[in-house]
Structure 1
Amino acid sequence: MDIKVLRYFLALSQQESVTAAADYLHITQPTLSRQLIELEEELGVSLFTRGSRKITLTEEGVLLRKRAQDILELVQKTQAEFQAPADMISGDIYIGGGESHAMGLIADAIKDLQQKHPQICAHIFSGDADEVTEKLDKGLIDFGVLIEPTQSTKYESLLLPAQDTWGVLMRKDSPLAIKSFIQPKDLWDLPLITSKQKHVDNNIAKWIKQDYEKLRIVATYNLIFNASLMVEKGMGYALCLDKLINTTGNSALCFRPLKPALTVDINIVWKKYQVFSKPASLFLQQLKEK
């Protein structure tokens, strides 16, 4: 499978027209059509549904688009590592992480490293734990910042000197806002907005000591900012981590911690036996020093 043909495939999937994709790629339409027909023959599947006005992806085409994006991203990352000038320390660091105030520690380490080596560039991918570990396993990122639990047998890890605290994000005019903390009994029958990650369900279930599925869950989220908008509109109460949403000043929102307290450790992880680029190796060294 040719990298060039994967680029052709992605261009057509984006442009949805052979004419538009050929113009975008600066090649002829017959050349593009022939290359993609040969790709379908090589894979033994139909990748496109060819309509009268536009071309759409089949189910197999959607799968290949995801794989092709990952492959080309890894190719670009590899090329950048080898093309970095030998006479200076330059290049890229790729870090994935969920929403955590501990990302501030990562930012501090990057800033200190860039002061010594200004040609280093950091690329941050934001996503939940499943998305971060998927990219980590595929080699698309160097490091992942994850809240516990982590797959310790699969990764090397460094425990960061910070913890995240679970609590409830609510409107300041909410009846629960008068409380200093939230207990399990306070949440029954309330409209709740919860994280869609499975390990979060397990943590909350252990804390609440009841069947998690019996809670009144009205929405789920993977990024808390969007959930905060739902809370602000009065849809419900968000179970989330502290220090991610500004609740000071004129904010209509406030945060109350859980009681008993529910805290989680935060780790930065990387694949075992990982061969780092020079910038990534220096970043890890900088982080350990801090």
Structure 2
Amino acid sequence: MELRVLHYFLAIAQEQSIVRAAESLHLSQPTLSTQIKNMEKELGKQLLIRGTKGSRKITLTEEGMILRKRAEEILDLVKKTECEITSADDIIMGDIYIGTGETDGVRLIAKTAGKLQKICPGIHFHISSGNATFVMEKLDKGLLDFGVVFGTVDLTKYNALKLPDKDVWGVLMRRDSPLASKKEITPGDLRDKPLILSQQEHLGGNFTQWFQCQMTDLNIAATYNLIYNASLLVDEGLGYAVGLDKIINTSCSSLCFRPLAPKLEEEMSIIWKKHQIFSRPAEKFLSLLKEYLNGI
């Protein structure tokens, strides 16, 4: 497969139309159709479901959806590689890619990034949010330089720097809820309450160990991927969201946060692949981060 044709395929997937994709690519429709048919022939799989005359909308087959995901990753990696190689030797400039979960610990990354940009204004940061599985998958594929993860790190695969702060687990709730008058929340307080859990915790994790129960014993009203969306569910009275402190600003809202008792904390580390060859911007960032951590 040629990179050029992957670019063509993505244009069709995004436009959902060969006609509109051809216009955006400044190609004739027959030329574009021929390129995609040749790729389908090469792969031995149908990638597109072409609409009838009444509806020219293009949809992707299952194989087409797989190729779209991989094509996006391949082209992103090519772009990242080109930027690293073509950077001038005497000027540090380029992109740094960091994956992280939702955590106030990103402030440390932001402080380091701010200092680095003052020294090297040509460096740009790209932050992707997701759970640990998302972060490590992107790291393994070379699409991220660094990842911020919670808990134990597999040191056979990754190098790690432990961050000094710990995230505190607790419950996000409405200020008018029965538990809002409490300073801390115990397992007994939540036993009969409708809970809103992260999708990762819903599969079993630190919270369920703290609760000392099975998932089937909990009243799970909803699950979430991003705590901001969970806060909206809480605000609408759907239940109590279990998560980490300082992600949602509750100082001027109808919500409040109460920590768990006994206390449940989460250690954080910034990780990168072992034997990774860094770009000059990523190398500079790591050096500055180490200096900052040593000075704390």
Separation of aligned partners in 1, 2:153 and 2:224: 21
SS in 1 for 2:156: coil
Q: 2:206 aligns with which of 182, 203, 208?
A: 203
Q: How does 1:140-219 map to 2 (within 5 A)?
A: 140-198=143-201, 201-219=204-222
How many angstroms apart in 1 are the aligned matches of 2:238 and 2:201? 22
Superposed displacement of residue 289, structure 1: 0.5
Amino acid at match of 2:138: K
- Partners of 2:207 and 2:89 lie apart in 1 by 50
**Shift in Å, 1:137:** 0.9
Please name the residue that 1:287 is paired with.
289
* Aligned match of 2:90: 87
Distance in 2 of aligned mates of 1:245 and 1:198: 18
Is 1:248 matched up with 2:251?
yes
| C-alpha distance 247-200 of structure 1, shift in aligned 2 (>3 A) | farther
**TM-score for both structures, normalised by structure 1:** 0.97
C-alpha separation between the residues in 1 aligned to 2:120 and 2:188? 53
Q: Distance in 2 between matches of 1:157 and 1:199?
A: 27
Following the alignment from structure 2 to structure 1, what is the Cα–Cα distance between the partners of residues 70 and 268? Answer: 30
Secondary structure, in 3 states, of the residue corresponding to 1:11?
A: helix
CA contact (8 A) 1:169 1:254 kept: yes
Equivalent residue, structure 2, for 1:17: 17
Q: Distance in 2 between matches of 1:212 and 1:156?
A: 33
Give the C-alpha shift of residue 64 in structure 1: 0.5
Number of equivalences? 289
TM-score of the two chains, using structure 2 as the length reference: 0.95
**Residue of structure 2 equivalent to 1:126:** 129
SS in 2 for 1:201: coil
Name the counterpart of 1:45.
45
Residue in 2 that maps onto 1:33? 33
Contact 1:204/1:212 (8 A) holds in 2: no
Spell out, residue by residue over 1:177-235, the C-alpha distance to the aligned partner (whole angstroms, 9 max, x if none). Answer: 01110101111121110011159732112111111232011111111001001001110
> After superposition, what is the alpha-carbon deviation per residue over 1:229-275, rounded to whole angstroms, capped at 9, x for unaligned?
100111000000001111113x1000000001000100000001000
Q: Over residues 149-203 of structure 1, what are the superposed CA-to-partner deviations in whole Å (9 max), with x where a residue is unaligned? A: 3323211100001100000000000000011101011111211100111597321
Report the Cα distance in structure 1 between the residues aligned to 2:149 and 2:202, rounded to whole angstroms: 12
CA distance in 1, matches of 2:126, 2:186: 39
The answer on whether the counterparts of 2:202 and 2:223 sit within 8 Å (CA) in structure 1 is no
C-alpha RMSD of the superposition: 1.2
Structure 1 unmatched ranges of 5 or more: none
Q: Please state how far the C-alpha of 1:6 moved relative to its aligned partner.
A: 0.3
1:137 equivalent in structure 2: 140
User: What is the CA-CA distance between 1:130 and the residue it aligns to?
Assistant: 1.5
